């Protein structure tokens, strides 16, 4: 028996074909519910075959790119987060984790490799999966590694899809993934604002301010935004991958045109200034998730950035944590 599961992220319709239905996980699935389609869409952009396997196929591939867990900051937030993660992981020590660490080690976040004429995407801390795809995205397979012979939405969304779309979007010249928060200002003609920044710059803070103080405004996401170019216009799309703030995700699968782009940082007073073109790359590139290992894709990313800086007004925006930023942003 085959189960067809339909998802849609950033206007990309995805069919996941599996041998059994996914297991409901009430604690985490709510964030994906809005991205599930109840019926078959007219057009499928990606078809993914999902299998459940007990163990990893062990390769010694040519690694194109890999991420490793950062070292623990001895003070502050990072330590707290890390401790929580370590505690959770200790509770989850099982055969499955041993299998993964035996093959991929304990430090790996994820990696992409080339085997023959295919790519192999493997999750370390990012998830229990091995995925294979060809360069034309016609045959995409994901093996979810599970002792319990089951799969969950998180197996596809959290690990695999988030990483796969980085590659898919740029390879097909459709867009990029940006470390940012974004707002659809519905009361103000539905204008779209993107606030990019590194961790700690104020992305979740910005989302909370708009969410609390501006009825009708839609938060697209507070951490990951998909930025697409369609017919020479730029659009920002909601994703399921949130940051510290997530209340908005219950009703957000929307998108908006991109009308203003801000590079945010905390400041004592609100102040925005136009970004000179020669500074734009320095500011924006550090907020991107793109295929850093692939020249053709980086070429696309650089062209995409050039066009973006020509067409969309970009500002450096030092902001104070209060609701005055809403009118400030609208009036720029």
Partner 1 sequence: MSDKKVFKKTDKVVSREIENEVILLPLCKTSKDMNYIYTLNETAALVWDLIDGSRTFKDIKEKIMSEYEIEDAPLTKELNSLIEDLKSINAIK
Residue 31: partners with Cβ closer than 8 Å, 6 or more residues away: 240, 242, 246, 249
For the CB of residue 50, give the shortest distance to partner 1 in the complex, in Å: 27
Q: Among the candidate windows 52-60, 62-70, 165-173, 322-330, which touches partner 1 by CB under 8 A? A: 62-70
Tell me which of 38, 189, 231, 278 binds partner 1, using CB under 8 A: 278
Give the pair of three-digit tokens for residue 22: 């996914």
Would you call 5 helix, strand, or coil by DSSP? strand
CA–CA separation, 302 vs 290, rounded Å?
11
Which one of 50-58, 64-72, 115-123, 211-219 is the stretch in contact with partner 1 (CB under 8 A)?
64-72
Nearer to partner 1, 189 or 278 (CB): 278
Half-sphere exposure at residue 146, Cβ-oriented, CA atoms within 13 angstroms: 16
Q: Residue 234's closest CA among 262, 261, 210?
A: 261
- Tell me the closest approach of the beta carbon of residue 301 to partner 1, in angstroms: 8
Candidates 28-36, 58-66, 148-156, 323-331; binding stretch for partner 1 (CB under 8 A): 58-66
Angle subtended by helix axes 203-213 and 324-331, to nearest 10: 100
Nearer to partner 1, 254 or 294 (CB): 294
Give me the residues paired with residue 261 across strands: 194, 314
Tally the residues of the chain.
332
Does 65 engage in binding with partner 1 (CB under 8 A)?
yes
Structural element, H or E, at residue 206: helix 203-213
As beta bridge partners, residue 141 has 49, 132
The interface mask with partner 1, positions 247-276, x = CB under 8 A, is -----------------------------x
**Closer to partner 1 at the Cβ: 211 or 294?**
294
Residues between 99 and 138 that touch partner 1 (CB under 8 A): 109
| DSSP string for residues in 73-132 | PSSSHHHHHHHHHHHHHHHT-SHHHHHHHHHH-SSEEEEEEEETTEEEEEESTT-SEEEE
Minimum separation from the CB atom of position 203 to partner 1 (A): 16
**Closest approach of partner 1 to the CB of residue 193, in Å:** 23
Q: Which is nearer to partner 1, 30 or 292 (CB)?
A: 292
Evaluate whether 171 touches 205 at the Cβ level (below 8 Å).
no
CB-nearer residue toward partner 1: 176 or 209: 176
- What secondary structure letter does DSSP report for 202? S
153, 22 in Cβ contact below 8 A?
Answer: yes
- Cα–Cα dist 167/188, whole Å: 34
Residue 295, Cβ neighbours under 10 Å: how many? 8
The pattern of x and - marking residues 285 through 314 that bind partner 1 according to CB under 8 A reads xx-x---xxxx--xx-xx---x--------
Please state the closest distance from residue 13 (CB atom) to partner 1, in A.
29
Q: Which one, 36 or 64, has the nearer CB to partner 1? A: 64
Q: Count CB atoms within 10 A of the CB of residue 169.
A: 25
Smallest distance, partner 1 to C-beta of residue 299, A: 5
Number of residues that bind partner 1 (CB under 8 A): 25
User: Measured from the CB of residue 206, what is the shortest distance to partner 1 in angstroms?
Assistant: 21
Residue nearer to partner 1 on the CB measure, 127 or 192: 127
Q: Tell me whether residue 192 or residue 291 sits nearer to partner 1 (CB atom).
A: 291
Query: Which positions lie near partner 1, rule CB under 8 A?
Result: 63-68, 109, 276-278, 280-282, 285-286, 288, 292-295, 298-299, 301-302, 306
């Amino acid at each position: 028996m085959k189960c067809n599961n339909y998802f849609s992220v950033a206007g990309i319709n995805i069919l996941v074909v599996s041998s059994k239905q996914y297991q409901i996980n009430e604690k985490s699935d709510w964030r994906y519910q809005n991205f599930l389609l109840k019926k078959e869409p007219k057009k499928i952009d990606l078809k993914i075959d999902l299998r459940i396997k007990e163990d990893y196929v062990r390769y010694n591939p040519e690694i194109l790119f890999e991420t490793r867990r950062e070292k623990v900051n001895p003070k502050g937030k990072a330590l707290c987060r890390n401790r929580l993660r370590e505690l959770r992981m200790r509770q989850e020590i099982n055969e499955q984790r041993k299998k993964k660490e035996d093959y991929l080690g304990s430090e790996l976040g994820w990696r992409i490799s080339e085997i023959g004429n295919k790519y192999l995407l493997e999750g370390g801390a990012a998830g229990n999966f091995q995925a294979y795809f060809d360069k034309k995205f016609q045959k995409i397979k994901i093996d979810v590694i599970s002792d319990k012979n089951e799969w969950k939405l998180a197996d596809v969304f959290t690990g695999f899809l988030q990483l796969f779309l980085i590659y898919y979007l740029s390879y097909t010249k459709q867009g990029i993934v940006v470390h940012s928060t974004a707002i659809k200002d519905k009361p103000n003609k539905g204008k779209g604002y993107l606030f990019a920044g590194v961790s700690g710059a104020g992305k979740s803070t910005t989302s909370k301010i708009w969410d609390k103080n501006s009825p009708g405004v839609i938060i697209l996401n507070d951490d990951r935004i998909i930025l697409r170019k369609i017919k020479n216009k730029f659009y920002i799309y909601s994703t399921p991958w949130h940051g510290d703030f997530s209340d908005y995700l219950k009703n957000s699968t929307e998108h908006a045109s991109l009308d203003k782009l801000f590079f945010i940082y905390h400041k004592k007073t609100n102040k925005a200034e136009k970004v000179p073109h020669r500074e734009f790359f320095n500011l924006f590139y550090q907020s991107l998730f793109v295929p850093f290992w692939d020249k053709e894709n980086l070429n696309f990313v650089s062209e995409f950035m050039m066009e973006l800086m020509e067409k969309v007004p970009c500002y450096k925006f030092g902001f104070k944590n209060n609701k005055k930023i809403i009118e400030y942003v609208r009036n720029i």
